[in-house]
Amino acid sequence: MTSSGRMLKNSHPGVFQPRVLESGFFGPSQNDLFSIIPFGAPSMGRVTGLLKKSFARLFQQPASGKFGTTLLLSVALIASGACAWADKEAVPEELSLVEAARTALLRSPLLKRIDANAELASAMTEEAKGGKLPYVEAGTSFVRSSNPVFAFGSLMEQGRFTADRFAVDKLNNPAPVNNNRTTISAQLPLFDAHQTDVRIARALLGVEEASGRREMARQAILMEVVRAYFGSLVTAERVRVARDAVKTAEADVKKIRDMSDVGMVVRSDLLAVEVQLADLGQAVIEADADAEVASIGLNSLLGIPETARPRLTAKLSERRFELPDDSLVAAEALKNRPELPLNDLAIRSAGESLRGARSQYLPKVDLFGVYGLSAETVGADSTDWMVGIKVSLPLFDPGRSSRISQAAASEAAARAGKRADEDRIAVEAIGAHRRLKASREKLSVAAGAVSQAAEVHRIIQDRYQVGLTTVTEVLRSENALLRAKLGELMARYGVYIGYAEFLLASGNLKNVDLF
């Protein structure tokens, strides 16, 4: 039994994790606006290809009569239909957040590994319970020997000993004797110094631990689904914002070109807006690439082909999620976080180990019995049985005190680990709560900044039309408007992710219905 680990955070590669630069959108650090790591996913097409090859080999074999041909064609049609159905299921046309979460949980290799460990713990429990049952063993042996003691005893076992065997010469130099011995023996522990009880208790705690770890992994996977799903949405929205900016820049280029042709503005103004348009074109290319990589990351998390592009039905709309009172945050987390019960299980397991180590001073009592059949060749010339009780007491075991010390230290470490985890969980929950409140405030500020930047850009454009400002101010206002729109988009994303992280930190990320 081990103490619980830290809460999984940003553990899945390829999941969208945005960052906003102070330097703005345009410049040498444009790629840093969104940080995404791509990775691949398996394709259902491989399965289809294998089936096609199999049926190709099948049709190369001659079929007898029309019935054989019809049967083969029917099987081929059914298989091809099944493949088409499987591909359709693997690549849905639309994907809601709830469906994405369900798919990720269903196909998660981490959950499958934890489920396998749970089965292992259950099997270990059954094995430990077997220590209370009798152990029965059957065996047979065949021995031929002229050893005097063996010959004397074997003849007695087989019931073939006669008076003439007492002759000194036959006792000292007997003829070789065969002995075929078959036995059935049984042993039942009446008291084993609580060792079986300790093994059963620890195995049952292992089953509970596997269940707790599954809930931890389940909530962590839901967190990654929320991050990847809304990350894919926000990158797609970024593409739209960048393309809108390109359209605006194209209109500016056309307008300023017309003004330049009639001598209203200098040619340097036209060149400046053309450079701006080129920068925006690069931004669109980068945004498209980031959106593609975000989709691949989401597909990998869900276990669907990387080329699939289902339409995400959720919307990254402005939301104000309900939050508990500040004074209740830590208590709620300590009540619901799934790793805290794992600490309790670790303490109990260490306590059982300590009980088992101390019980090694006690005696062990076993009941045993043997039923035997002896014959010169094969059969049963004679039968015998034996029943007894064995009591054993360890008088000197040099490693026993060390085992007790180890178990006591493990229990103390488990108790200290629980206290440390309680402090950590309280800090994580309070921190997530504060960050979410800050994200909501940032969203309010960002929304106001968009309207302000749009108004400033409109005024500067009007002033430029009548020659009261320079094209540099126009470009600066366009960049400010674009940064404001992206800032609002990222603030909205931050609220969604902040709320998911708060639910995870408080142990309440049971599902994604709240999003």
pLDDT digits (tens, 9 = 90+) for 348-403: 999 999 999 999 999 999 999 999 998 888 766 788 899 999 999 999 888 889 99
What pLDDT is recorded for position 377?
80
> Residue 95, SS3?
strand
Question: What superfamily in CATH does domain 17-44+91-131+198-358+399-505 come from?
Answer: Outer membrane efflux proteins (OEP) (1.20.1600.10)
Is residue 41 a contact partner of residue 67, using CB atoms and an 8 Å limit?
Answer: no
Domain range list for the chain: 17-44+91-131+198-358+399-505
**Among candidate residues 452, 345, 403, 448, the one with its CA nearest the CA of residue 121:** 345
Is residue 17 a contact partner of residue 293, using CB atoms and an 8 Å limit?
Answer: no
pLDDT of 37 strictly over 60: no
CA dist., res. 350 & res. 437, Å (int): 41
Torsion, Cα of 163, 168, 174, 180 (10° steps)? 40
pLDDT of 57 strictly over 60: no
Query: pTM of this prediction?
Result: 0.70
Q: What is the b/e burial string over 27-44, where b = at least 16 CB atoms within 10 angstroms of the residue's CB?
A: eeebeebbebebeebebb
Flag the least confident range among 95-109, 211-225, 253-267.
253-267
| Model confidence pLDDT, tens digit, residues 407-458 | 999 999 999 999 999 999 999 999 999 999 999 899 989 989 999 998 998 8
**Among candidate residues 418, 440, 432, 425, the one with its CA nearest the CA of residue 495:** 440
pLDDT of 144 strictly over 70: yes
Place of tokens 């709240």: 514
What pLDDT is recorded for position 169?
81
How many Cα atoms are found within 13 Å in the side-chain-facing hemisphere of 319? 18
| Model confidence pLDDT, tens digit, residues 164-178 | 877 888 788 888 989
What pLDDT is recorded for position 375?
87
Torsion sign, CA atoms 253, 255, 256, 257:
positive
**Among candidate residues 7, 11, 64, the one with its CA nearest the CA of residue 37:** 11
- More confident of the two residues 259 and 427: 427
CA dist., res. 435 & res. 441, Å (int): 10
Q: Quick one: pLDDT band at residue 476, thresholds 50, 70, 90?
A: confident
Q: Quick one: pLDDT band at residue 233, thresholds 50, 70, 90?
A: very high
- Percentage of the chain surpassing pLDDT 90? 41
> Residue 146, SS3?
coil
What pLDDT is recorded for position 15?
43
- The angle formed by the CA atoms of residues 32, 39 and 21, to the nearest 5 degrees, is 10
**Token pair for residue 412?**
């103390």
